């Protein structure tokens, strides 16, 4: 991940224990932490600062003055994360097109690191490729290296994880992405190539497990297409009942696409195959509740311990 990698930590109104947690989260997300007293001028951080973090006291409905000045006067446009000292409608609330993010307490290292990773993710390339499928991993990769990437696409954070596994292992899948009229994410066999869009009847889902997020309409929808026997596809949201709905072949009795209204806070997960260390996302305290990047942190750790052919896509609607 390129670009600025410094968080401005506004400590003046912050409990020391929270400041310690923030520094730990910065270390996990590979971010430099710059302590700021809320008074000194910090314009010299322009080009280095990637986001700022402060506290929003309980009952306060306006951004504290020193933080407003920081992101409008000293470092205009700097994304601001506010730790709210009262309950929120969701653990993470994104406002003003992602420029302001509210985090609910009690805060965890995993949730804050996940939030930071999402805000620091690169924008998806737009040089004409948004109408085409493009791979999020090296197509001809060999060996046990683990590849990971994350992008911002409109209101979404999209992350991918891929591992070819041992040379004598089974065939792997490749994560693919397309971003026209919304988001389409697919796990396809390693030998698959995108169809020619000019061909009549070309089936974009012929490559494998496919999920689309339709954003063009007034009400966004998830569209879950067919999935193979080894694919796991599911929708998680702390605001839905049940919190986790599996939409892969084990829960589907027909091949028609399934449409579900999308909502902020949804996290859609696709992976194949299902490894033995995957915990049921319906379990309390599951890392998926901390956000898409936190889930990939857990998967990546396990893959590095014992590499095997594995592919995963996560779409986090914020």
Question: What pLDDT score does 226 carry?
Answer: 76
Which distant-in-sequence residues (6+ apart) come within 8 Å of 71 by Cβ?
Answer: 52, 77, 78, 79, 80, 99
Question: What pLDDT score does 255 carry?
Answer: 66
Question: What pLDDT score does 147 carry?
Answer: 93
Question: What pLDDT score does 192 carry?
Answer: 84
Q: Which domains does the chain have, with CATH numbers?
A: 6-120 (3.40.50.2300), 129-317 (3.60.40.10)
Question: What pLDDT score does 199 carry?
Answer: 45
pTM of the full structure? 0.87
Question: What pLDDT score does 200 carry?
Answer: 40
Question: What pLDDT score does 127 carry?
Answer: 53
Per-residue pLDDT of the chain in tens (318 residues, 90 and over written 9): 456 689 999 998 899 999 999 999 999 999 999 999 999 999 999 999 999 999 999 999 999 999 999 999 999 999 999 999 999 988 899 999 889 999 999 999 999 999 999 999 988 766 555 558 889 988 766 677 899 999 999 889 999 999 988 777 777 899 999 987 789 999 998 888 887 544 444 455 456 889 999 987 778 999 998 788 888 899 999 888 899 999 876 555 556 889 999 999 999 999 998 888 887 777 767 788 889 999 999 899 999 998 889 999 999 998
Q: Is the dihedral of CA 240, 247, 118, 111 positive or negative?
A: positive
Of 20, 9, 8, the closest CA to residue 44 belongs to 8
Question: What pLDDT score does 201 carry?
Answer: 41
CA angle in degrees (0–180, nearest 5) for 172-175-176: 135
């Amino acid at each position: 991940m390129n670009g600025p990698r410094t968080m401005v930590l506004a400590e003046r109104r912050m409990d020391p224990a929270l400041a310690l947690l923030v520094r730990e989260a910065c270390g996990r997300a590979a971010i430099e932490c710059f302590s700021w007293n809320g008074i000194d001028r910090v314009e010299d951080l322009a080009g280095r600062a990637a986001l700022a973090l402060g506290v929003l006291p309980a009952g306060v409905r306006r951004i504290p003055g020193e933080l407003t000045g920081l992101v409008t006067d000293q470092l205009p446009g700097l994304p601001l994360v506010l730790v709210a000292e009262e309950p929120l409608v969701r653990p993470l609330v994104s406002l003003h097109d992602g420029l302001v993010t509210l985090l609910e307490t009690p805060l965890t290292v995993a949730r804050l690191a996940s939030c930071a990773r999402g805000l620091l993710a690169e924008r998806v390339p737009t040089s004409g490729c948004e109408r085409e499928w493009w791979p999020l991993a090296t197509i001809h990769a060999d060996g046990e290296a683990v590849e990971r990437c994350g992008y911002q696409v409109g209101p979404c954070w999209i992350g991918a994880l891929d591992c070819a596994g041992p040379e004598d292992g089974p065939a792997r899948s490749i994560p693919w992405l397309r971003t026209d009229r919304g988001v389409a994410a697919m796990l396809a066999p390693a030998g698959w190539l995108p169809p020619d869009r000019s061909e009549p009847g070309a089936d974009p889902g012929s490559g494998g497990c496919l999920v689309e997020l339709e954003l063009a309409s007034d009400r966004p929808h998830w569209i879950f297409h067919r999935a193979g026997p080894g694919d796991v596809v599911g929708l998680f949201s702390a605001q839905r009942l049940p919190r986790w709905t599996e939409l892969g072949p084990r829960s589907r009795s027909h091949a028609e696409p399934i449409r579900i209204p999308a909502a902020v806070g949804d996290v859609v997960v696709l992976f194949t195959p299902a490894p033995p260390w995957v915990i049921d996302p319906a379990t309390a305290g599951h890392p998926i509740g901390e956000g898409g990047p936190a889930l990939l942190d857990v998967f990546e750790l396990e893959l590095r311990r014992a590499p095997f052919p594995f592919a995963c896509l996560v779409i986090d609607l914020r």
